Structure 1
Amino acid sequence: MSPKYRLILTSFVLSTLLMIAKFIAYYQTYSSAILTDALESIINVVASGFAFYAVYLASLPKDLNHPYGHGKIEFFSAGLEGVLITLASIFIIFHAVQGFVTPQPLNDLNIGLIIISSGAIINYYLGYVIEKEGEKQNSPTLIADGKHLKLDAQSGLILILAIGLIILTKATWIDGLASIAFAVFMGISGIKIIRKSIGGLMDETNDATLHTIVDLIKNNQKNEWIDVHNLRIQEYGSDLHIDCHLTLPNYWVLEKVHDTVHEFEEVLSKEFDASVEFFIHADPCLPECCSYCKIEDCPIRWYPQTKVIEWNKVNLSLNQKHFIEKI
């Protein structure tokens, strides 16, 4: 079993056990704050279950119906988790307001405090491990699940503080106030997760990935790479698809063009652990390219080199050669 499957399965099992423990704590205490945490645990269980299925789908090979693979299901999985978090936050606020209108007596808060504290410690550690593995494998599903568990642990601190204050002060209104604060914190985090997953589904450029690729091109630049433009990056879960136009000398034979394109691909792929697919379009150089071409012994040069173009994420991404003024 791969590390992805092990972590998601562990998350699912622990989330289920913690959910049961938190509901037991609620029925022992009738605390709105503890019910809030228990309801949030339902989301952990549902999200972990769907995340396991998403990781399975994302690992399937490409086929005729999915020529780019199945990796985008991971963005959908992360988005679903964000939606569930947001909906739960709305329900929690509604329940807390009801608690202000018709308050219920609180019982055995010490038991609830022990269960919530234990759950916070377990969730934070597990969330930290899952998020780090997700960043390592560039997996939106693992990152979202890890962030969710860490969020659950962080919000648990609010509840621990609230329950502690209730025990010390006997002010039961703190219970509802803590639930609302927890719900607002959850809702903001859920919206952020939704926003990021929508960006992934719409092929929004990942600035960190683009910056890495631009640095690779600049730091390994060859004189024969006359021009690079129309650089585009698509993420399919943990897999990358990179395409661009690479301008090469027009007098080269096809075999040399092929070898240079392959070398260019190797330069771009060496920093990524994920599977990287390329589509490099080779353009022949034009006389207008001479002004920034660095090939010293070019047999067909029309004009001397007069400028050096500093490649960056803007001009590498434009769908036009560098001798054309930016429109």
Structure 2
Amino acid sequence: MPVLFLNLGPSAAILNNKKNIILVALIVSVLLMGAKFVAYLITASNFVLTDAAESIVNVVASAFAFYSIYLTSLPRDSNHPYGHGKVEFFSAFIEGALISVAGIGILIKSTYSIFYPNAIHELLTGAIIIGITGVVNGGLGYFMISKGKELRSLTLEADGKHLITDMVTSVGLVIGLTLIHFTGLLWLDSALSIGVGMYIVFNGYQLIRRSVGGLMDEADFEVVNNVIEILDKQRKPEWIDIHNLRAQKYGAELHIDCHLTLPNYFDLIRVHDEVKQVDELINKEARIKTEFFIHTDPCLPYCCHYCSMPDCPIRTEEKRIDIPWTMVNLTRNKKHFEQDV
């Protein structure tokens, strides 16, 4: 007996919160990009130029992130029955790709500059400007990562990590410009740029890997394990077993379908109530909005040896073992057996 519970997508308050955070990030990115280009005009440093060029990526990425949050806010329709949440994975992919391109560009330009250095000046002034932009990016980045985890938004996390990456670049810039000012070693400008460029490419790869995993419905084991732990700790005797559990993430929402074994003498109203309790338990305890599709199965005689149902009128043998609810046991497409202990 399949039973379907539908939750109506992200709340308006959460979506508005996401939009406001991304909008602030976009405005800040535009202002900081202007500051970095001013620093380049003052110093003529290739290192500063690469950081300023990366800021263009920040602006484009934040703009796309804002658009993706808008798409996420759209209601479900016939073409998108699970909503538009997966656009967040696509947004993170674009951002990761842009970060990687920026990092590769820095590596190429820095390598060239080792062999063909150019004159630079007013380095301390440039370092101060870049340092200020780094502090702003770092604070905003950590805030966005925190809010992204709280709101279960990959877009906010990705944009926050991008800003943290930009902060690291700025730190490298300040160190490099200061060292060059006091040592006169022009090659340090390019050498430090190469190190920062490699770090940027690695961060871009991580974002791309995570977004592709989401687009390919790769299991989020951290989230699924959390759901299973909650079910195991608060399981009722009526819930004889859960199996064939599968989960998909659509942005900030989790979609789960599974089979729930219940006593075969329950009427339809009792079955409905038990399924509803599972749905409400996870939505309350798991800290992620979850849509459940639960198929109910009747118990069979071979379930008795692990069933805890008291005063069961059809029991064929006493309970002998406790079978823990683990990732392995709940994801298999069959009822539990004695070897599942």
**TM class by shorter-chain length?**
over 0.9
- Identical amino acids, percent of aligned pairs: 48
Structure 2 partner of 1:307:
321
Structure 1 partner of 2:9:
none
Q: Distance in 2 between matches of 1:187 and 1:283?
A: 49
The reply to whether residue 83 of structure 1 matches residue 97 of structure 2 is: yes
Q: Distance in 2 between matches of 1:21 and 1:197?
A: 31
Q: How does 1:153-192 map to 2 (within 5 A)?
A: 153-192=167-206
Q: Distance in 2 between matches of 1:272 and 1:112?
A: 47
Q: Which letter does structure 2 place at the counterpart of 1:14?
A: V
Q: Which letter does structure 1 place at the counterpart of 2:42?
A: Q
Deviations 1:147-185 (A, max 9, x none): 110111122111111111001101010000111111000
Q: Distance in 2 between matches of 1:274 and 1:13?
A: 29
The worse-fitting range, judged by mean Cα deviation, of 285-294 and 94-103 is 94-103
The worse-fitting range, judged by mean Cα deviation, of 176-185 and 28-37 is 28-37
Structure 1 partner of 2:306:
292
Q: Distance in 2 between matches of 1:85 and 1:210?
A: 29
Q: The residue matched to 1:250 in structure 2 has which SS? A: coil
The worse-fitting range, judged by mean Cα deviation, of 316-325 and 34-43 is 316-325
Q: Distance in 2 between matches of 1:11 and 1:295?
A: 54
Change (3 A) 1:54 1:37: same
Deviation at 1:303, TM superposition (A): 2.0
Structure 1 partner of 2:80:
66
Q: Give me the CA root mean square deviation.
A: 1.3
Q: The residue matched to 1:270 in structure 2 has which SS? A: helix
Q: How does 1:34-183 map to 2 (within 5 A)?
A: 34-183=48-197
TM-score by length of 1: 0.97
Change (3 A) 1:309 1:273: closer
The reply to whether residue 24 of structure 1 matches residue 42 of structure 2 is: no
Deviation at 1:271, TM superposition (A): 2.3
Deviation at 1:324, TM superposition (A): 7.7
Q: Which letter does structure 1 place at the counterpart of 2:239?
A: W
Q: Which letter does structure 1 place at the counterpart of 2:292?
A: F
Q: Pick from 241, 251, 257: which aligns with 2:271?
A: 257
Q: Which letter does structure 1 place at the counterpart of 2:44?
A: Y
Deviations 1:46-70 (A, max 9, x none): 0000000000001111100000000
Deviation at 1:274, TM superposition (A): 4.1
Q: Distance in 2 between matches of 1:324 and 1:198?
A: 38
Deviation at 1:305, TM superposition (A): 1.4
Q: Pick from 269, 279, 282: which aligns with 1:268?
A: 282
Q: Distance in 2 between matches of 1:148 and 1:235?
A: 22
Deviation at 1:296, TM superposition (A): 2.4
Deviation at 1:223, TM superposition (A): 0.5
Structure 2 partner of 1:234:
248
Q: Which letter does structure 1 place at the counterpart of 2:56?
A: I
Q: Which letter does structure 2 place at the counterpart of 1:84?
A: L
Tell me if the contact between 1:231 and 1:243 (Cα under 8 Å) persists in the aligned partners: yes
Tell me if the contact between 1:137 and 1:273 (Cα under 8 Å) persists in the aligned partners: no
Q: Distance in 2 between matches of 1:273 and 1:301?
A: 37
Tell me if the contact between 1:203 and 1:234 (Cα under 8 Å) persists in the aligned partners: yes
Deviation at 1:275, TM superposition (A): 3.0
Q: Distance in 2 between matches of 1:249 and 1:6?
A: 49
Structure 1 partner of 2:5:
none
Structure 2 partner of 1:3:
17
Q: Which letter does structure 1 place at the counterpart of 2:264?
A: N
Q: Distance in 1 between matches of 2:338 and 2:73?
A: 42
Tell me if the contact between 2:114 and 2:191 (Cα under 8 Å) persists in the aligned partners: no
Q: Distance in 2 between matches of 1:223 and 1:254?
A: 18
After TM superposition, where is structure 1 displaced by more than 4 Å over at least 4 residues in a row?
none
Tell me if the contact between 1:82 and 1:191 (Cα under 8 Å) persists in the aligned partners: yes
Tell me if the contact between 2:255 and 2:291 (Cα under 8 Å) persists in the aligned partners: yes
Q: Distance in 2 between matches of 1:136 and 1:214?
A: 20
Q: The residue matched to 2:334 in structure 1 has which SS? A: coil
- Higher RCO (CA < 8 A, seq sep 6+): 2
